[in-house]
Amino acid sequence: MKYAMCPNCGKRLCKGESGTKVELECPKCGKFAYVIIENDNLHISDKPLQPQKDKLVRANA
């Protein structure tokens, strides 16, 4: 279990396990935080999460 803190004011926002992807508004300062928790990593950003788009590969005919 890992804890995510607001990158602006330091308030604890949430806790989660590997695979967690959330967008949160800090109740203290009102800034948005975008959190991704992986096995050994915790990413916190002020940039919105973007869904990964499937890449189409064109085959030569």
Smallest Cα–Cα separation from 42: which of 32, 26, 13, 31?
13
For residue range 3-35, what is the model confidence (pLDDT) as tens digits? 999 999 999 999 999 999 999 999 999 999 999
Q: Whose CA is closest to 2, among 34, 30, 43, 31?
A: 43
Q: Cα separation of 25 and 33, whole Å?
A: 6
pLDDT tier for residue 47 given thresholds of 50, 70 and 90: confident
Q: Where does the chain show beta strands of DSSP type E? A: 2-5, 12-16, 21-25, 32-37, 42-45
* Integer Cα distance of 47 and 45 in angstroms: 5
Prediction pTM value: 0.71
Least confident among 9-13, 36-40, 44-48, 50-54 = 50-54
